[in-house]
Structure 1
Amino acid sequence: MDLGLKDATAVVVGGGRGMGFATARCLAQDGARVAVVGRTPDVVADAATALSELGSPDALGLVADTTDADQVQRVFDELAQRWGELNILVNAVGPDAVGTFEDLTDEQWRIAFDGGVMGMVHCVRSALPLLRGAQWGRIVNFSAHSTQRQSVILPAYTAAKAALTSVSKNLSLLLAKDEIMVNVVSPGSIASEALLGWAESVGVDGSDPYALMAAIDEHFGHPAHLPRAGLPDEIGPVVAFLASRRNSYMTGANINVDGGSDFT
């Protein structure tokens, strides 16, 4: 389906790897100009090269730590000079915080909220003038299914993602008058780098999505209705639709992409 993204401008924060990169690929394949933002120069540079090869005009790899508001502002100042406006902002960065409530330190809680909430806040704040200056605008933020199905080893991560979901809902209300649509995607058990790293630590072949889901069931009791884990490429098209002009009336929604669950 043509998403109407030819020559649209898009920023994917955390777009160098995993679900962020899968999203950036979908946008690039539809003709959008895509900038990926991340902390690692080689990763974002390689991603920009790959997006150019997929047909993205003026694909960019920009380096910033999104927990640093000044670094974020510099990125969007550069984009303002280069593009002058922005149609799409995707925030795909997640905090790295694993541990039970009793084990997590105050510093780990702070890192979770800095990476999981404040990074998004910094990006939206800096992007808003460019989004408001464009003919149309979309924001898509990545939350997580753990906000609806708890895990005892993810209290800080889940709390940060729940806060991100709440802020996103508030933004959808605030920006409705500008017709800038704000939505959230909540991936389920997706074969991301983090999940694959966990699989390796428990001796599971992460390349087999069926074995991965069986391990999730065994260790967490949280299987999906489908008998396998999802893949990053199954997230990208959903985000790309929400970020496109084809999404003309959906805002303030939280979309589960989870293989089926008992969410309420």
Structure 2
Amino acid sequence: MDLGFTGSNAVVTGGSKGMGLAIAECLAAEGANVAVMARGRSALDAAVDALRAAGAPDAMGISVDMTDAASIADGFAAVSERWGSLNSLVHTIGPGDGYFEQMEDADWDAAFALGTMSGVRSIRAALPMLRAAEWARIVTLSAHSIQRQNPRIVAYTAAKAALSSITKNLSKSLAKDGILVNCVCPGTIVTASFTENLKDILAADGLDATDPRDVMTWIDNNFHQPCDLGRAGLPEEVASLTAYLASKRNGYVTGATVNVDGGSDFI
């Protein structure tokens, strides 16, 4: 299936690692010019090399502090200077986590600055370019936890729930411009950072943090939140759905919140 990305321009925030990088590589393989935004220069440089290898010779890696409004504006100004218009914005940034009793006011402020306001600021900065394009799509990445609560990630989930609400609202206000806006909610996904952060914890239970079935066993044992397929997901499985929603081929899906969670009780 041709998704219609050939010759188009896309930005993936948080696109230097994990699900963001998988999405960026998918868009590049489909023929899009891709710019990734993140803070770390070395990871950005590695991502650009990967995107060029995937099929995006004009790939850009832009160092942006997603907690800083001016830095975000400067990042999108660089995209505008290079390309002039933008077809696809995929926003993947997420904050840290913690239990309610651990969270001070500053922690809540930080969670919403990164988990919500980074999306608001990115979309605001991208809108002139999106409106200038022949076709345009926005996809935000929220989280399955907005429907299936987990006390360990209370501020993260609240920030992502706000982002999901904003996404739905924008699908209505931007429909008149022909800009389709959707939200993807990943479940448990085995990324490199997930494995690195939890490998010792899973190993203590005799489980392998790189094995999707072992990961889901640990999730079920500790949080009682299994999935119907009995395994965690992979970044490329989030990427394929996100790529469709961000594509020209998607002509009629807007305002949707789509789970990529291996099957759950939520619709």
1:6/1:32 contact within 8 Å kept = yes
Q: How many matched pairs?
A: 263
Q: Give the structure 1 partner of residue 176 of structure 2.
A: 177
Please give the alpha-carbon distance, in whole angstroms, between the structure 2 residues aligned to 1:217 and 1:195. 16
Please tell me the residue identity of whatever aligns with 1:261.
S
Instruction: Give the structure-2-normalised TM-score.
Output: 0.96
Please tell me the residue identity of whatever aligns with 1:75.
G
Structure 1 residue 259 and structure 2 residue 262: aligned? yes
Structure 1 residue 127 and structure 2 residue 131: aligned? no
Structure 1 residue 238, shift from structure 2 partner: 0.4
Deviation sequence 1:166-195 (CA, Å, 0-9, x none): 010111111000010000000001112453
Please give the alpha-carbon distance, in whole angstroms, between the structure 1 residues aligned to 2:219 and 2:53. 36
Please give the alpha-carbon distance, in whole angstroms, between the structure 2 residues aligned to 1:262 and 1:116. 25
Please give the alpha-carbon distance, in whole angstroms, between the structure 2 residues aligned to 1:100 and 1:76. 34
Q: Give the structure 2 partner of residue 3 of structure 1.
A: 3
1:7/1:57 contact within 8 Å kept = no
Structure 1 residue 71 and structure 2 residue 74: aligned? no
Deviation sequence 1:45-95 (CA, Å, 0-9, x none): 110111011111300100001111111111111111110100000001111
Q: Counterparts in 2 of 1:1-264, with a 5 A limit?
A: 1-97=1-97, 99-196=98-195, 197-203=197-203, 204-264=207-267
Structure 1 residue 201, shift from structure 2 partner: 2.8
Structure 1 residue 107, shift from structure 2 partner: 1.3
Structure 2 residue matching 1:34: 3-state secondary structure: strand
Please give the alpha-carbon distance, in whole angstroms, between the structure 2 residues aligned to 1:46 and 1:121. 27
How many percent of aligned residue pairs carry the same amino acid? 50
Deviation sequence 1:118-172 (CA, Å, 0-9, x none): 0111100100000001111000000000000001111101100000000101111
Please tell me the residue identity of whatever aligns with 1:250.
V
Structure 1 residue 110, shift from structure 2 partner: 1.0
Structure 1 residue 6, shift from structure 2 partner: 0.5
Please tell me the residue identity of whatever aligns with 2:166.
V
Instruction: Give the structure-1-normalised TM-score.
Output: 0.97
Please give the alpha-carbon distance, in whole angstroms, between the structure 2 residues aligned to 1:72 and 1:200. 35
Structure 1 residue 199, shift from structure 2 partner: 4.3
Listed as ranges, the gaps of 5+ residues in structure 2 are: none
2:202/2:208 contact within 8 Å kept = no
2:14/2:36 contact within 8 Å kept = yes
Structure 2 residue matching 1:51: 3-state secondary structure: helix
